[in-house]
């Protein structure tokens, strides 16, 4: 199935989906966002490579902050860095490089996101992108990732699941796990609290309404006092 331009979802949402479907729905359905130490570090690391520069050194041409899209996967986004390596025939072979805070993870979410970038490049440039690399902030090392059939299938399935989740418009219930402790939405999601199944936007709206009612009653009470005072003064 091919998606339309209006249908494209952020490529970065794949990471949210693979980390936790509830987190993904909170961010992309309910539009809830909260920055914590982990997201702040990631943002700063990305800002350093987000300058849209181009340079060529020997047989490697480098572009930063490259716009990507795939109508097949229904995704769009930006690659941190695309290197183009000149091969023996003089052709430039695209090679995506993604910068990540921290160290390599046990799960392969980063590989899936990088593979999605490769699939976008293949569709946009009509070429084959066999590998790319992840660069981790902690060990400052590159990890080469091969885009094999298994990873490609996993990436396509993740993109389909992402579209299904967003178009359902529903937020899955919370389930507390160890990973929740590093989740930027822990305080809003409240996975340990009974009732975490509730829609967070509605919960926040209710809290704000309750606060407004309290504020209103306080204002009315103080208006009442001051008007009683002015009657007393005039008589
Ligand atoms: S706190 Fe846990 S359940 Fe809630 S969004 Fe984060 S990872 Fe998911």
CA 39 – CA 41 distance, rounded (Å): 5
Q: Read off the pLDDT of residues 18-35 as tens digits, 9 standing for 90 and up.
A: 999 999 999 999 888 755
CA 205 – CA 178 distance, rounded (Å): 28
Q: Which stretches within 31-108 are classed as H helix?
A: 37-48
Q: 177: CA distance to ligand 1 center in Å?
A: 8
User: When comparing pLDDT for 95 and 40, which is higher?
Assistant: 95
Ligand 1 contact via 70 beta carbon (within 6 Å): no
Ligand 1 contact via 25 beta carbon (within 6 Å): no
Map out the domains of the chain with their CATH numbers.
5-175 (3.90.320.10)
Q: Read off the pLDDT of residues 141-200 as tens digits, 9 standing for 90 and up.
A: 899 999 999 999 999 999 999 999 999 999 999 999 999 998 989 988 989 874 555 566
- Ligand 1 atom closest to Cα of residue 183: 6
User: When comparing pLDDT for 197 and 89, which is higher?
Assistant: 89
What number of helices (H) and strands (E) belong to the chain?
7, 7
CA 151 – CA 142 distance, rounded (Å): 18
CA 164 – CA 169 distance, rounded (Å): 9
Please indicate, yes or no, whether the overall pTM of this predicted structure exceeds 0.85: no
At residue 235, the pLDDT reads 29
Backbone angles phi and psi of 202, in degrees to 5: -65, -40
Q: 176: CA distance to ligand 1 center in Å?
A: 7
Q: Read off the pLDDT of residues 38-70 as tens digits, 9 standing for 90 and up.
A: 555 555 555 655 556 778 888 899 999 999 999
User: When comparing pLDDT for 93 and 137, which is higher?
Assistant: 93
């Amino acid at each position: 199935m091919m998606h339309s331009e209006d249908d494209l979802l952020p490529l970065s949402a794949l990471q949210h989906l693979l980390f936790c479907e509830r987190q993904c729905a909170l961010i992309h359905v309910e539009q809830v966002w909260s920055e914590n130490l982990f997201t702040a570090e990631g943002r700063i690391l990305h800002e350093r490579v987000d300058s849209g520069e181009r340079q060529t050194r020997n047989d490697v041409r480098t572009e930063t902050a490259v716009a990507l899209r795939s109508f097949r996967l229904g995704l769009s986004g930006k690659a941190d860095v695309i290197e183009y390596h000149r091969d023996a025939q003089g052709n430039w072979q695209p090679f995506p490089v993604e910068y990540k805070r921290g160290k390599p993870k046990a799960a392969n979410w980063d590989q899936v996101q990088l593979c999605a970038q490769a699939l976008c490049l293949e569709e946009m440039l009509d070429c084959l992108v066999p590998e790319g690399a992840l660069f981790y902030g902690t060990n400052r090392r590159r990890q080469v990732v091969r885009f094999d059939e298994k990873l490609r299938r996993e990436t396509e399935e993740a993109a389909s699941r992402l579209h299904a989740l967003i178009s359902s418009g529903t937020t899955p219930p919370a389930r507390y796990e160890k990973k929740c402790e590093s989740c930027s939405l822990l305080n809003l999601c409240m996975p340990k609290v009974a009732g975490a199944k509730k829609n967070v936007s509605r919960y926040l709206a209710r809290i704000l309404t309750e606060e407004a009612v309290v504020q209103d009653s306080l204002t009315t009470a103080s208006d009442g006092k001051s008007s009683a005072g002015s009657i007393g003064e005039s008589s």
